[in-house]
Structure 1
Amino acid sequence: MTATIIDGKAFAARIRGEVAEHVARLKEAHSITPGLAVVLVGEDPASQVYVRNKHAQTLEAGMESFEHRLPADTPEADLLDLVARLNADPAVHGILVQLPLPGHVDAEKVINAIDPAKDVDGFHISNVGLLGTGQKAMVPCTPLGCLMMLRDHLGSLSGLEAVVIGRSNIVGKPMAQLLLGDSCTVTVAHSRTRDLPGVVRRADIVVAAVGRPEMVEGDWIKPGATVIDVGINRVDAPEKGEGKTRLVGDCDFESCAAVAGAITPVPGGVGPMTIACLLANTLTACCRANGLPEPEGLTA
């Protein structure tokens, strides 16, 4: 068996196109433009690239983009003051504070200072609680992207057995809640799970988000299962030359693709969906703030 490759890059482009269409209709019918504010503290190179991509894609979707770049030594109180100003700004519908933050800043304190209705990352404790109790919430972008791809490929997820490998607050836990919401039977596994391969072999859906390069092997996969690889790991690639690296997921792609029914590649799978879902969340937040219908197909 050779797995179908789930093209996250193409799917994300489709989502961004749908968002742009909704934004254009909002402008025309209601003179409303969704606005996303991104706050970057410090000069982490990966964060800078990510923020630059967010800015470009926000503008492409027809939204307002508000960037706030602060030096690494910015006092926590100043960052909290900025968050408070963005909370009060009616032009800002979504607020994202780029992680990681410098060590002197309490990240949880900052995240929980964001207005939950503008928390387009879905990390505020109120949104975590709403998602966990099956209520309307802002949903973390990466799990939302995974859910969209699963629904698109499989249709109804009801009754399927799903194993989420990883228990982080950013991916593993919210992913499990979303799958439960779609009536899957869900197991949350992790690096300390006894007989992890045996647990994974039961699954119709495998979401690998454990952060260990190529940990999940092909003989762990149930024939025909759908595998969503969230991992992004940089490993040495001596075949490319001295000091060169390559990106791999949490799954050994070749062996898993030989058994699975469908699989996301790394790169080009889950990664592109994250910013697309950030834009979708900003649009959703804007619609909710203005008492307008939420965009269909772009929420959980």
Structure 2
Amino acid sequence: MMLLQGKPIAQAILEDLDKQVKELRRRRIVPALAVVLVGRDPASIQYVHVKRAAAESVGIDVVVHKLAANTPEKKVLELIAKLNKDFKVKGILVQLPLPAQISREKIAWAIDPAKDVDGFQMRVFEPPAPQAIIEILRHYDIPIARKRMVIIGEGFLVGKPLSVLARKFGAMVTTLDSKITNLAPYLRDAQIVVAATGTPKLIKAAMVTPNQVIIDAATGTLNGEVVGDVDLKNVGKVVKAISPVPGGVGPVTVAVLLRNVVKASKLK
């Protein structure tokens, strides 16, 4: 079984970004990311911390705009409009999830497409997590074209955009609702399985077959342990290759996000 580690890929991307940012700064272009954080969700705070640390490690400026959980939608839209007009801000990231009173769709479509580094709109930038999955497959020389890919989960950040991106690379894609109770028959003929539901250890060894590649694109906790959708220990004994959680898709996703920020800096 091959373990598809994401950290070496992320490190290579970050090293390249460090060089690009130094060159931009020599030209007096300062890559700057504005993060909008609504509420005090512990996981969101941690994700923002990780993204900020990685960004600053390669010379990207980060400003986090912290708003109370009860902030009205109108106020968030006003902040985004202000950030859209600020020429110093090259990228805007709205940390999800948002409180119930705020429409994710309204917020996503309010961002200037040239600053939409999380790829919500998929107009200028593609979302980081689907890009990261493609990066991992390509890095480990796992073919995508004409391969049967099953994506479990049709979410806004991974499942839906990955289905679009994977088809661009020639994959034959099937997407499954995360609520399907008996997944095994749907997975049997898949060559690549991507799990993105947020349900800890949903994918068991009995559901998979040898020669499959499993990409775990979810992060959660179970009994205080950071885990993904896949029972890594037992599924790993069956399949050909698997990405771990933590250390798989996550680090590459952060690196690709920052690559989008650098690209956005070159647009302005």
TM over 0.5: yes
Q: Which residue of 239, 244, 267 corresponds with 2:246? A: 267
Change (3 A) 1:194 1:76: closer
Q: Where does the alignment leave 5 or more consecutive residues of structure 2 unmatched?
A: none
Q: Which residue of 93, 102, 105 corresponds with 2:102? A: 105
Partner Cα distance (1:157, 1:78) in 2:
43
Q: Deviations over 1:22-76 (max 9, x none)?
A: 2122223x33221111011222222222222222221111112122112233332
Count matched residues.
268
> Which aligned pairs between 1:175-214 and structure 2 lie closer than 5 A?
175-193=162-180, 196-214=183-201
Does residue 154 of the first structure (1) align with residue 154 of the second (2)? no
Instruction: Specify the alignment match of 2:75 in structure 1.
Output: 78
Partner Cα distance (2:171, 2:41) in 1:
38
Q: Which residue of 44, 49, 53 corresponds with 1:47? A: 44
Partner Cα distance (1:215, 1:103) in 2:
26
* 8 Å CA contact retained: 1:204, 1:222: no
Instruction: Specify the alignment match of 2:31 in structure 1.
Output: 34
Instruction: Specify the alignment match of 1:253 in structure 2.
Output: 232
Please report the TM-score for the alignment, with normalisation by the length of structure 2. Answer: 0.92
Instruction: Specify the alignment match of 2:11 in structure 1.
Output: 13
Q: Where does the alignment leave 5 or more consecutive residues of structure 1 unmatched?
A: 131-136, 237-244, 291-300
* 8 Å CA contact retained: 2:151, 2:195: yes
* 8 Å CA contact retained: 2:154, 2:178: no
Partner Cα distance (1:21, 1:260) in 2:
38
Q: Deviations over 1:214-247 (max 9, x none)?
A: 12122332312211011222122xxxxxxxx212
Does residue 220 of the first structure (1) align with residue 207 of the second (2)? yes
Residue type of the alignment partner of 1:15: I
Q: Which residue of 257, 273, 284 corresponds with 2:263? A: 284
After TM superposition, what 4+ stretches of structure 1 lie above 4 angstroms from structure 2? 192-195
Partner Cα distance (1:259, 1:281) in 2:
36
Change (3 A) 1:105 1:192: closer
Change (3 A) 1:185 1:194: farther
Partner Cα distance (1:177, 1:123) in 2:
13
Q: Deviations over 1:162-183 (max 9, x none)?
A: 1111111211111111110110
Does residue 62 of the first structure (1) align with residue 49 of the second (2)? no
| Identity fraction in percent | 40
Secondary structure in structure 2 of the residue aligned to 1:154? coil
Q: Deviations over 1:114-152 (max 9, x none)?
A: 11111111113xx2xx5xxxxxx3111111111110111
Q: Deviations over 1:194-232 (max 9, x none)?
A: 863122121221111122221212233231221101122
Please report the TM-score for the alignment, with normalisation by the length of structure 1. Answer: 0.83
CA-atom RMSD, angstroms? Answer: 1.9
Partner Cα distance (2:153, 2:103) in 1:
24
Secondary structure in structure 1 of the residue aligned to 2:257? helix
